[in-house]
Structure 1
Amino acid sequence: MIDYSATKAAVWNLSKSLSKEFGAQGLRFNTISPGPVATALWLGEQGVAATVAASMGVSFDEARRRIIDSAGGFSTGRFTEPEEVADLAILLASGRAGNVTGADFLIDGGLAKQL
């Protein structure tokens, strides 16, 4: 996950820079930072939960619970669905968010606890 996380940070910084560079031309740049999404990356046969389960010698469901609990749990009680990330992208691409640029949107069901 180190390479994945580093790439996400790089994309966010690039987006922020591009929003400043090209905002006056009407171009908007935003990023979406999803937490765990119900995809193969997290829940697939070779995903994070399966890898943790194998390394800890526990069941897939137990590994999934431990991963979520280690980060403080989801406020919503569930993984984000891929369609929810897509809906956010559609909103940001639409005119309804016409003055939104240089922003990052966290969609993680309340997993990241910010003080």
Structure 2
Amino acid sequence: MNQIFSGKTVLITGASQGIGLAAAEHFLKEGANVVGVSRQSSELAGASSASRYLHIAADLALPESPRIVVQRAVQHFRQIDVLVNNAGAVAVRDGFLDVTDAMWQSTMELNFMSYVRMCREVLPHMVEARSGSIIHLGSEAGRTPLVDAPDYSVSKAAILTLSKMLSREFGPKGIRSNVVAPAHVYTPMWDRPGGFLDSQALKFEVPREDAVQAFVDQSGLPVGRLGTADDVAPVILFLASPAASFITGAEYTVNGGVTTFV
């Protein structure tokens, strides 16, 4: 994209690993100033861009965190041109009846309410500038719910409506809102103890190291592999760029062709 984000400021939540970290590195390569938000910091590739990167440590499940994050970001870089809502978590459940009120509350606070609150804090700055792009990380689970992740699935479905609503209200003010919905992307969430990799090893009755291939074989992924964070990041950059100036209220799936319905 040839440094088209030079002079622009991009705020990315959940930026310490996976898709958020990959997006941060891609935006930095394209000349952007990047504010990365996460509970812990992470090593970025390319020390030459360190002066254009600000890490803010915050737990976005806490209602007051987005306000503090945006205040610090604006103080440091003076503006926010792009918001990438990416923070989130998924827990493997036995099913709907396994999810308590506390679990629902915890999932929705991080996966959905953090998106709402970040938008609420960022939008006044974008409205003043009459320009801005918001990209929300959804999931195929928002349209095809996962039985072993009911609360996660519902949180991702809610993001679709949030984005559509924002696109309609703020489109006339020069602000676009879109969703990137990945699926079958290998991120650190797979590797956590008790996470998706362990659940697939149990499901297919294979050693942990064979679980990925067993999952790929069973899922019928046309591309024959899991995706990577670097498969998703360029789609985020495209939607943030002027090349997508006529795209808002849309959902872009990045899932290796696994979706079978039209």
TM-score, normalised to structure 1, is 0.85
Report the counterpart of residue 104 of structure 1 in structure 2: 251
2:168, 2:176 → 1: CA distance?
Answer: 9
The residue type equivalent to 1:51 in the other structure is S
Change in CA separation of 1:54 and 1:79 when aligned onto 2, cut-off 3 Å: same
CA contact (8 A) 1:36 1:79 kept: yes
Q: Which has the higher strand share?
A: 2
Q: How far has the Cα of 1:106 moved from its partner?
A: 0.5
Segments of 5+ residues of structure 2 without an aligned counterpart are 1-148
Report the counterpart of residue 173 of structure 2 in structure 1: 25
The residue type equivalent to 1:93 in the other structure is A
Q: How far has the Cα of 1:57 moved from its partner?
A: 3.5
2:180, 2:208 → 1: CA distance?
Answer: 28
RMSD: 1.8
Task: Using the aligned pairs only, state the percent identity.
Answer: 35
The residue type equivalent to 1:58 in the other structure is V
2:226 equivalent to 1:79: yes
CA contact (8 A) 1:49 1:67 kept: no
TM-score, normalised to structure 2, is 0.40
Report the counterpart of residue 38 of structure 1 in structure 2: 186
Given the alignment, which residue of 229, 232, 235 partners 1:88? 235
Report the counterpart of residue 53 of structure 1 in structure 2: 201
Secondary structure, counterpart of 1:114 in structure 2: coil
1:62, 1:84 → 2: CA distance?
Answer: 22
2:229, 2:260 → 1: CA distance?
Answer: 21
Bigger Rg, structure 1 or 2: 2
Segments of 5+ residues of structure 1 without an aligned counterpart are none
Larger RCO (CA under 8 A, 6+ residues apart) = 1
Change in CA separation of 1:67 and 1:107 when aligned onto 2, cut-off 3 Å: same
Q: After superposition, what is the alpha-carbon deviation per residue over 1:4-41, rounded to whole angstroms, capped at 9, x for unaligned?
A: 21111111110001101111111000001100111122
Given the alignment, which residue of 206, 210, 216 partners 1:68? 216
Change in CA separation of 1:28 and 1:41 when aligned onto 2, cut-off 3 Å: same
Report the counterpart of residue 71 of structure 2 in structure 1: none
Q: How far has the Cα of 1:54 moved from its partner?
A: 3.0
- When the two structures are aligned, how many residues end up with a matched partner? 113
Change in CA separation of 1:9 and 1:89 when aligned onto 2, cut-off 3 Å: same
The residue type equivalent to 1:76 in the other structure is V
Q: How far has the Cα of 1:45 moved from its partner?
A: 4.2
